[in-house]
Structure 1
Amino acid sequence: AGERGGHFLSDDLSEQMGTFALLPQVVAAVRVPVIAAGGIASAAGVRAARALGAQGVQVGTAYLCADEALTTPAHRAALQSEAARHTVITNLVTGRPARGIVNRVMRELGPMSRAPSAFPLATAAMAYLRAQAEKQGRLDFTHFWSGQNASGCLSAPAADITRELARGFESG
């Protein structure tokens, strides 16, 4: 689904659909349990996915600020800032399309290169620039992966986040 963070399976971004547009189509097309993913970060999101036929959900971004997450302090701060409201799909960081919080590189070059470096070589190409900026205390060349629903990132134990999400499976 188009809302999720991290890497996409296809380079063709026209193939990306939002979770709640895609979900009923998948449920109608297959005879196996369907797991919804992308943009789900609350019990209300879980209920919506279930109402559209999902048997379960996969949640990613909502756990990035969990107490147990190995997310860096800088990434946590970015996820809990106004910047997290602005995500794009970019291939500049790794050479493959992935969603993350907009940074200086994406603003100045545009989020998508017509001829990106090969995956995973693009990461190495950006590493020196990122490292030099970070030595100066600047994070404008650092990439922070995030789905579109970073507002659902909570600083709490993962068990509490899971319990909150599980409320979406309760009837009512």
Structure 2
Amino acid sequence: MEHVSGIKAAIVAAIGCLSALWGWFGWLVIIWICCMLLDYITGSAAALRAGEWSSKVARDGIWHKLGAIITVLVSIILDGVIGLILDNVPGLSLPIDYVVFLSVLTLVWYIFTELGSITENAGRLGAPIPSWLAKAIAALEASVDDAGDKLAPEEDEDKQT
């Protein structure tokens, strides 16, 4: 029982540290981590229910999550670099105070992706899923995609030749 209390204390301490260090951004990270864990658990449960669970697929899921973590870290680093450039290059500025943007967009996109996957897994577990819920998650994810696409619009194919 002491072991469980120690784990709970460590989790609460980690959450408290993230909140103190990052404020609302820390909560966004915590929500994303919880979504990743819930997706992995519900995906494994759905595969077990269907008799399709395999350690290879489970490992692939972990590798997939690791790739997402790396992508979020890259976006956090990029936000930091952009902030340093804006703070230290004379004459270069934005009409807003830049703190974080790309990492928030990336985290929110991953959260919506995980929520969509969790919803699909719940359906595979036999829970009825309201169609409007799946549509709302997809619409929110698409709106984040649109916001990100406006940052780096694709060139016309004719211009790339």
Give the TM interval when normalised to the shorter protein: under 0.3
Query: Which has the greater radius of gyration?
Result: 2
TM score, norm. by length of structure 2:
0.24
| Bigger relative contact order, structure 1 or 2 (CA pairs below 8 A, ≥6 apart) | 1
TM-score norm. by structure 1 comes to 0.23
Higher strand share: 1
